[in-house]
């Protein structure tokens, strides 16, 4: 399964914090969805407080 690097920001303590996550997903769209679910679950945030700026494929290691 391809790897994607997803970059964006999320609201934490009233401030926007940047993040970069690497996820395994079949497409860019699903990589974004997996990231939203992971950050939302970990930080107890609704999706409206998470912004994804980019999701791009990473070449294999």
Q: Taking the domains of the chain in order of start, what are their residue ranges?
A: 3-57
pTM, 2 dp: 0.86
CA distances from 19 to 1, 8, 39, 49 (A): 22, 6, 10, 13
Six-digit token pair at 42? 């970990």
Residues 6+ apart with CB under 8 A from 46: 40
pLDDT band for position 9 (50/70/90)?
very high
Is 60 in a helix, a strand, or coil? coil
The DSSP secondary-structure symbol of 13 reads T
Q: pLDDT tier at 28 (50, 70, 90 boundaries)?
A: very high
Mean pLDDT computed over every residue of the chain = 93
Q: Which CATH number fits domain 3-57: 3.40.190.10, 3.10.20.10, 1.10.10.10, 3.40.50.880?
A: 3.10.20.10
């Amino acid at each position: 399964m391809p790897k994607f690097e997803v970059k964006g920001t999320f609201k934490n303590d009233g401030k926007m914090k940047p993040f970069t996550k690497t996820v395994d997903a079949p497409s860019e769209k699903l990589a974004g969805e997996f990231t939203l679910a992971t950050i939302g679950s970990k930080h107890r945030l609704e999706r409206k407080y998470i912004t994804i700026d980019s999701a791009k494929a990473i070449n294999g290691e």
